[in-house]
Amino acid sequence: MKNYAISLLLVLFIFACGSSKQFGGYQKDASNDTSDESILSETSIVPSSTLEIKMCSFNIKFVGLYKKKDHAALADVLKGYDLVLIQELVSPPTDGHYPDGMPYEADPEAKEFVDAMAGHGFEYRLSEEDTGTNGDIHSNSSSTEWFVVFYKPDKLIVDDELITGFLAEDRSDHPSFERVPYAFSFQTIDGGVDFTLISVHLKPGSGTADKARRKEELEAIAQWIDINDSIEKDFIIVGDMNINNQTELQSLLPPGYNSLNKDCLPTNLSSSGKPYDHVLYHVSHTGAELTGSFEVVDLKEVMRPYWKETTPYPENDLNLFYQYYSDHKPVVFTLVSDGSDDD
């Protein structure tokens, strides 16, 4: 009986040792294990070094013209983004001199908006003058506009080694552009990605000639990029492009480019909403830096809590709503930096 007990204990001991080598704890071979638990345990130990830059483009409807514009409320809605491109700033927000040496003075309404943005930690870059369709610029009116970008210095650095400025020398009545686009270049604070944003406001209208003009403008921008991409490849064309539908979008996209608003979500406030606002990028050059996300902000809803007048909120009076806020919705997209920029 004693010998039998000893033999049984010996068998159990051998079995236990063999089992621990096959299944127990750290002896387990996870290289061929495809269970969720194995995948999670392996990926969870890899630290994430990705920096996300949340960007917004907003045609804000004649900043520097409307006296009713609620600049503080608009700036409060935009404060959470890392970079904001504005279209339709129609007057300068600061004193300065045009390239021809003539002085200009800050417009009170434009200055109020820029000051409100600065109060939320933004710094900004402003074009050196306005641009427009007619022969006359420097007008401080809705016929021309300035380009401006706001950015958070804890996420982005202006990159003056890359191209910054208008895409053409003549900013009035240009043969290729309704309003000469403006390039702003940045680098992420981690040094992982540098890129150039080209802020645009293309010709409006639904006629055949209007569509042909928009196609001409985008072709001219793509040609300019081809000439200037020897150092930098990440060019992103952003803004109010006045595109009417998906058919038009596909007809005017330069070769190799796509839009983050490829589904043509409506971005203006009219009852027959149109996909006016887009973010165009070269798929091969910048596809990896953009997450592919595209959000259209519901401007009527986000502005509602800021209404302080005694009259009803003008959600159904669009002409009045435009004067306080805008006729476009902000659009939002994300750029990521993981330290693997290809240029």
239-285 pLDDT per residue, tens:
999 999 999 999 999 999 999 999 999 999 998 999 999 999 999 99
Nearest to 185 by CA among 137, 219, 225, 226: 225
pLDDT reading at 12 higher than 60: no
Could you tell me how many helices (H) and strands (E) the chain has, helices first? 9, 16
Report pTM: 0.85
**Number of residues assigned to the chain:** 343
Nearest to 327 by CA among 276, 271, 270: 270
Angle among Cα 229, 231, 237 to the nearest 5 degrees reads: 40
pLDDT reading at 229 higher than 80: yes
Rounded mean pLDDT, 32-61:
59
Rounded mean pLDDT, 20-26:
33
Rounded mean pLDDT, 128-149:
94
Q: Indicate the residue type of 303.
A: M
What are the tokens at 265?
Answer: 């979500």
pLDDT of residue 165: 98
At residue 312 the predicted structure's pLDDT band, cuts being 50, 70 and 90, is very high
- What kind and span of H or E run contains 337? strand 331-337
| Residue bearing the bigger pLDDT, 156 or 7 | 156
pLDDT of residue 9: 43
pLDDT of residue 143: 93
pLDDT of residue 343: 65
pLDDT reading at 47 higher than 60: no
162-196 pLDDT per residue, tens:
999 999 999 999 999 999 999 999 999 999 999 99
Radius of gyration of the chain measured on its C-alpha atoms: 28
Q: Can you tell me the distance from the alpha carbon of 26 to that of 29, in angstroms, rounded to the nearest whole number?
A: 8
| Residue bearing the bigger pLDDT, 274 or 17 | 274
pLDDT of residue 29: 34
Nearest to 343 by CA among 193, 197, 221, 183: 193
Q: How many other CB atoms are found less than 10 A from the CB of residue 248?
A: 20
Query: To which residue do tokens 């060019």 refer?
Result: 235
pLDDT of residue 341: 65
Q: Can you tell me the distance from the alpha carbon of 191 to that of 72, in angstroms, rounded to the nearest whole number?
A: 32
pLDDT reading at 10 higher than 90: no
pLDDT of residue 45: 27
**Structural domains in the chain, sorted by start:** 2-43 (no CATH), 51-337 (3.60.10.10)
Rounded mean pLDDT, 279-308:
96
pLDDT of residue 19: 40
Which segments of 64-137 are extended strands (E)? 83-89, 96-97, 103-104, 123-126, 131-132
| Residue bearing the bigger pLDDT, 126 or 1 | 126
Q: 101-105, 136-140, 204-208, 303-307: lowest mean pLDDT where?
A: 136-140
pLDDT of residue 338: 81
Mean pLDDT of all residues in the chain? 88
